[in-house]
Structure 1
Amino acid sequence: MNPTGWVYEICRRPAWGNSCPAHAAVAEYGGVRLALQKGDTLKIKLVNQLPQLDPAKVNHNTDPGQANLFRNPTNLHTHGLIVEPRAPTLNDPTFGDYVFVQIFNSANGMPVPQTTHQHGSNKMDSAEFRINIPRNHPSGQFWFHPHIHGISLNQVSQGLAGIISVGEVSDYAHGDARDTPFPDASVRHLILKDLQVAPGGPVQFDSGPVDVQPGEVINQQDPGFCAQFPADSSEVREGSCPGVDASADGGTNFSGGKWYFTVNGRTFPKIKVTDADGEVWRLTNASGSLSYNLQLTDDDTQKPMIMQLISVDGVSVNLPQDTTMDTMVHLGGARFRVVQCPPLPTSRFHSKPVCVTQMVMMPSSRTEVFVTYRDPNTGAIASPGRVASATFKMAGLTMGSGDQWPAVDLAKVHFHQHGARNHIAYAMDIRGDALATMQPSGILDAKVPYASAAPLRNGCRPLPPGHRRRIFFGLADLHDDGTFGLGYEEVDQNGNPVPGTQLPVSQFDPSQNIVCLPLAGGQRPVHETWELVQLSTENHNFHIHQTRFRTINSKAGENTPLAVSFNKTIGGGMLQDNVPLGVATPNVPEVMDAQNGVCTIEQWRSGQCTSKPVVVDIPFSQVGEFVYHCHILEHEDGGMMAKIKVVPSPNNGSPWEAMNQMPW
């Protein structure tokens, strides 16, 4: 079949030029890790050598402003880094983490000027990026990938993704038996990528059926490529599932093709755990649209094994000792199946340990877990017998009325842990950045060092006290299931929409900032409350650049991480940069019969559709333009994205002085 993936070829740039020294480049389909430390400056020259695409295989090539997509422009987004989204200036031509640029390969022809919906400035062949990692940045796992609106799915699904680490796990993970940092040698970085390889013949694209070559990668991924579950026990799915014929239902005949699910670029690798104290797994979902439902199943008992959750989306957790399991579930956005930890002396731990047996990782999610062999009856840490193994697997997952993702075994895990444990007796002791980032010196509370006072422009103002923003996830055209979009309104302290702020569900318009807000007085981060309203009967995945957020609940106690009013002494509990949204429940038949399973805003208001908003507290600490969107890239490319702009406060003094100058 010989599929061709796209990779980042990476080398250290010598001081005397821009070319990679001979034999110095690394190009791995599984992904390269950029290992950074706090205070580092990441300098990248991104060179586009991607091939031209067949316009008939580019779903959004005929969208407004997108006529150049088949020329395969690219750019770079350092996903999860809390860094400046900086545009070039005359004095500094480099980009920060700025996604409004398109880098074209001149071998694919010059881009044609676009009169509407131009998605950023055009650069030919290469562009320079300079990204400063703040010294108060959290330690954790992040990643990098292209962010070209319209073909993000194509490029990520073809393989363009790598991981970034900042600091070390030992910065926040210590032993409970001995107060020593967890050894970095026992940290495993696992990047999950999937690749659909066609058998050849006609494949359904938006433009209609188009012939593909045997072994060609389907980068506009089809969730119906293979059956969700094996036909019977004879079908063994170790790292892949076989293509099926869906032509009878108007789909594609993928019989003879394969859908590969790789771990670090390998199909069904064997993982050998040898450290008696276990390992930390840093997991990244680098898929374009696929969501993973992950568990580690004991091969003897066929029961899911307990793992300790230590970090979510690159920020280590921090939970008070009285945190309930229900609170843990809500803090994690229902991404984890939280279970009771084996008995342990809570006085030993800075943060209450969180035990999980299942993790739903939607596209872009990162999760860090402590993995070790455990007694199959009690779940307590134990020494394995002569033979102990488990299967790291993806259980089948259905996204409401939408996509169905298949069940596949991802890796075999062998536990060869013998000898005395030196660090861990009951659980890992976490000193979480979910608390540290929100302290006076933390990145989500400290003064923004590069921000200086500037007058506010029209349309850019802080939310009045008690107000919040409401974002709707739906379709711009209910009769076209590809017109993914976002709606917006401001809500007052009584829960009523503020007149003049309401925008209908619309597809992404790069010329319009939907949200504009200033920092708090003294150039400190400002907190806002956002309501995320799901209008669809299939799941979406909210993601915002340049920051983190915590889920909140108006019924939560004041001294819990879920409290609406933020308490610095408690911290954020679990901080995320993406969160799954549930599904809307229609109460009238026309939603499913005539509206592609998507409600209108009016139907939601009137109760014809039931959908409980996900409410989040977002601290904004970076100045510039960036985006929020659904990180299912099929949905993002289809228009479910919007621009936001954060500007300096008009006052460098106290927050109270600044508030007195604001036009409420």
Structure 2
Amino acid sequence: MLVGHKPTLRSLTSAAAVLVGLACAGTAARAHDLVEPTVFRSKHGVLDLLMIARAKPVSTISYTPPGGSPMNPTGWVYEICPRPAHDIKCPAGAAVSDYGGVRLALQKGDTLKIRLVNQLPQLDPAKVNHNTDPGQANLFRNPTNLHTHGLIVEPRAPTLSDQTFGDYVFVQIYNSANGMPVPQTTHQHGSNKMNYADYRIEIPRNHPSGQFWFHPHIHGLSLNQVSEGLAGIISVGEVSDYAHGDARDTPFSDASVRHLVLKDMQVAPGGTVQFDSGPVAVQPGEVINQQDPGFCAQFPADSSEVRQGSCPGVDNSADEGSNFAGGNWFFTVNGRTFPTIKVTDPDGEVWRLTNASGSLSYNLQLTDDEAQKPMIMQLISVDGVSVNLPQDTTMDTMVRLGGARFRVVPCPPMPISRFHSKPVCVTQMVMMPSSRAEVFVTYRDPATGAIASPGRSASATFKMAGLTMGSGDQWPAVDLAKVHFNQHGWRNHISYAMDIRGDALATMQPSGILDAKVPYASATPLRDGCRPLPPGHRRRIFFGLADLNDDGTFGLGYEEVDQNGNPVPGTQLPVSQFDPAQNIVCLPLAAGQRPVHETWELVQLSTENHNFHIHQTRFRTINTKAAENTPLSVSLNRSIGGGMLQDNVPLGVATPNVPEVMDAQNGVCSIEQWRSGQCTSKPVVVDIPFSQVGEFVYHCHILEHEDGGMMAKIKVVPSPYGGSAWEAMNQMPW
């Protein structure tokens, strides 16, 4: 075979079962090509950066307000440069400050050092929805911090001897130009730092290779700051660590990997907008960072409305008090609206997708322009961990493992013996906020789905097909990018599919991060009410409202459940909004300082979707009726591994069986109604291995819901036992 040209890229059965209203919605491509995010790469095991959060006009987005002149709306960006020796500003010409975000390229065992400087502007208190919540009176001063989402790293707080932070979200960094924060007597959300803070994050040597991301995690302002643009991506290792060809057993070329960061921005025409405090005047071209799902219609009015990277605002003043007519909702890929993607490698490309939007969920598909049908893509990684599936894995199991996020379809016929992991073929992906997925993209025959040579004009449209979140938000249909398949020449490495060496298996092995001894933990007596779950017990988390009469009081409830499925007396907590002073869950590692597995039931009380996310780990969806030799089994089979490991999973919707839920309770059931059968909601059951010691959180990653209180604090401590699991079992105080 001839070697094809290898250019560099620099110059779901389906989620409809979970997400109500999964619906399908290109014309000529615009002049600009998709540009890869700027890369900051570690050297000699260290990446040391200065990162400044500040406001900046977004040069890649052009907006013309009614009766006005073209302008670039002002977003918030990270200005990044290699850290200078003694300063909190970047030298002239040394900084990158792209709205689309940068990529921090790390290797296993690296150290990531960041000095984060806050130069964000002060906010109008009337436009900060949670400024009157307990402990949140300083939100209008616009504090920030940093979370490295998806990294399985230590959530380390500072000490007297080391003032740096690990991946620790309980800190607020204030810009002194916005005034000093007023002391809060309750609900203080961590320590206060002025102007900057230093982070040092150690990447374990047994960390999975994959794609992760970073963003602020200030409770009450996460939606505002992410919606303004504060986010970037992190890669650990390379795609070639786990992706090989099937025709030739060689690593896939990292030159044919694309990173696609999805962000959206609502730009108002002026006038008044309805905030929680009431109607407030906004300027023409102002970014609405408390995003409104009703900004534009879900679908085009007719065929004349072409949505290439944006949709037009509509007048909602009669219903919600906001008139967005004349405004624009921009949907960007790497900061650009409707770019062109030219696929030239005959062996195809890997697309690494990140939903970096604050609350928006994407319903993604790649539609063949001529056949007008979704194209098959091969799913190779979920949330930064490459998949690993036994050859007898059924399609139904694939759907369950992926949290019903993917429309799984039969792969074209292929010799299964060639593959370490059974290939997973999808035509649609529901990516809720924070989701990542990696897919192998190449031209395929529209009739058979098999890899084929494209015609001279072969093209497709990468699109958001529109999505309804149960009884909640309706997200619009928009075309995101034009794709041209210019794959001329012989394929060299891939005949049928990519061969994946999955980290979903490697992480579960004795040397893997989710099974190996935690290197920095040592035996410590238990305190703070921490104790292991007794055998057969599990935790149950409820997603609902603290006040059923107030649709803004998002919260979580909790109880422990025994081996017979009965709540353990004294463990029940009602649905409550986030209180940073209270650890809802506290647990020790397993004996010998090894990761401990727990079973959690996630119970949806709402008729709109939520998205469960937990920091510092991964989890796998399980089925209590699954056989022990499948990735869905309750007890982990290490020879099979996790199948697909996730750090966020969509929850379905509750079905009320009594009218008052929709009529008087904002479409949200109470825990008592769920117990009595007045609401039907099947729990999502997950196995969570805890391998990192410290304090962190679990929450809904729809940031409107997180900021509203749907978050809880968890603490993991060292085990008091340094010996074997058998010795520890005989000492446990059951």
* Both proteins in one fold, TM over 0.5: yes
Q: Secondary structure at the match of 1:521?
A: coil
2-structure distance, mates of 1:549, 1:485:
22
1-structure distance, mates of 2:354, 2:726:
41
Structure 1 position 458, deviation (Å):
4.2
| Conservation of the 8 A alpha-carbon contact between 1:315 and 1:574 | yes
Tell me which of 543, 546, 550 is aligned to 1:473.
543
Structure 1 position 250, deviation (Å):
3.0
Structure 1 position 53, deviation (Å):
0.2
Structure 1 position 15, deviation (Å):
4.5
> Using a 3 Å threshold, how does the CA distance of structure 1 residues 531 and 171 change in structure 2: closer, same or farther?
same
2-structure distance, mates of 1:493, 1:555:
15
2-structure distance, mates of 1:326, 1:187:
29
Cα distance per residue 1:394-433 (max 9 Å; x no partner): 0110000000000000000000001111110000000000
Tell me which of 693, 705, 720 is aligned to 1:635.
705
Q: Secondary structure at the match of 2:336?
A: coil
Structure 1, 570-579 or 458-467: larger mean CA deviation: 458-467
Cα distance per residue 1:8-44 (max 9 Å; x no partner): 0111114565542321111000001000000000000
Give the 5 Å matches for 1:135-174: 135-174=205-244
1-structure distance, mates of 2:202, 2:628:
36
Q: Secondary structure at the match of 1:221?
A: coil
2-structure distance, mates of 1:90, 1:406:
50
Cα distance per residue 1:596-647 (max 9 Å; x no partner): 0000000000000000000000000000000000000000000000000000
| Conservation of the 8 A alpha-carbon contact between 1:381 and 1:426 | yes
Cα distance per residue 1:532-564 (max 9 Å; x no partner): 000000000000000000000011111000001
| Conservation of the 8 A alpha-carbon contact between 1:461 and 1:662 | no
1-structure distance, mates of 2:389, 2:230:
35
2-structure distance, mates of 1:389, 1:275:
15
Q: Secondary structure at the match of 2:76?
A: coil
Cα distance per residue 1:50-85 (max 9 Å; x no partner): 000000000000000000000000000000000000
Structure 1, 2-11 or 296-305: larger mean CA deviation: 2-11
Q: Secondary structure at the match of 1:414?
A: strand
Cα distance per residue 1:120-158 (max 9 Å; x no partner): 100000000000000000000000000000000000000
1-structure distance, mates of 2:577, 2:285:
34
% same residue: 91
Structure 1, 608-617 or 12-21: larger mean CA deviation: 12-21
Cα distance per residue 1:349-381 (max 9 Å; x no partner): 000000000000000000000000000100000
* Partner residue in 1 for 2:147: 77
Give the 5 Å matches for 1:334-483: 334-483=404-553
| Conservation of the 8 A alpha-carbon contact between 1:649 and 1:658 | no
1-structure distance, mates of 2:588, 2:256:
43
Cα distance per residue 1:416-451 (max 9 Å; x no partner): 001111110000000000000000000000000000
Q: Secondary structure at the match of 1:211?
A: strand
2:105 matched to 1:30? no
| Conservation of the 8 A alpha-carbon contact between 2:88 and 2:117 | no
> Using a 3 Å threshold, how does the CA distance of structure 1 residues 16 and 205 change in structure 2: closer, same or farther?
closer
2-structure distance, mates of 1:596, 1:570:
43
2-structure distance, mates of 1:662, 1:239:
58
Structure 1 position 652, deviation (Å):
1.4
Cα distance per residue 1:202-256 (max 9 Å; x no partner): 0000000000000000000000000000000000000000000011113311000
Cα distance per residue 1:493-549 (max 9 Å; x no partner): 000000000000000000000000000000000000000000000000000000000
Structure 2 regions of 5+ residues with no counterpart?
1-70
Structure 1 position 657, deviation (Å):
1.6
| Conservation of the 8 A alpha-carbon contact between 1:7 and 1:27 | yes
2-structure distance, mates of 1:636, 1:649:
30
Cα distance per residue 1:565-622 (max 9 Å; x no partner): 1100000000000000000000000000000000000000000000000000000000
| Conservation of the 8 A alpha-carbon contact between 2:279 and 2:321 | no
Q: Structure 1 stretches (4+) deviating beyond 3 angstroms?
A: 14-19
The count of residues paired between Structure 1 and Structure 2 equals 664
Structure 1 position 660, deviation (Å):
2.1
Structure 1 position 386, deviation (Å):
1.1
Cα distance per residue 1:74-125 (max 9 Å; x no partner): 0000000000000000010000000000000000000000000000100000
Structure 1 regions of 5+ residues with no counterpart?
none
| Conservation of the 8 A alpha-carbon contact between 2:618 and 2:645 | yes
Structure 1 position 656, deviation (Å):
1.8
Structure 1 position 334, deviation (Å):
0.3
| Conservation of the 8 A alpha-carbon contact between 2:542 and 2:575 | yes
* Partner residue in 1 for 2:204: 134
2-structure distance, mates of 1:651, 1:553:
31
Structure 1, 651-660 or 195-204: larger mean CA deviation: 651-660
1-structure distance, mates of 2:647, 2:142:
27
| Conservation of the 8 A alpha-carbon contact between 1:66 and 1:150 | yes
Give the 5 Å matches for 1:257-336: 257-336=327-406
Q: Secondary structure at the match of 1:310?
A: strand
* Partner residue in 1 for 2:67: none
2-structure distance, mates of 1:643, 1:17:
35
2:186 matched to 1:124? no
| Conservation of the 8 A alpha-carbon contact between 2:577 and 2:708 | yes
| Conservation of the 8 A alpha-carbon contact between 1:310 and 1:430 | yes
Structure 1 position 654, deviation (Å):
1.2
Q: Secondary structure at the match of 1:27?
A: coil
* Partner residue in 1 for 2:325: 255
TM-score normalised by length of structure 1: 0.99
TM-score normalised by length of structure 2: 0.90
Structure 1 position 388, deviation (Å):
0.3
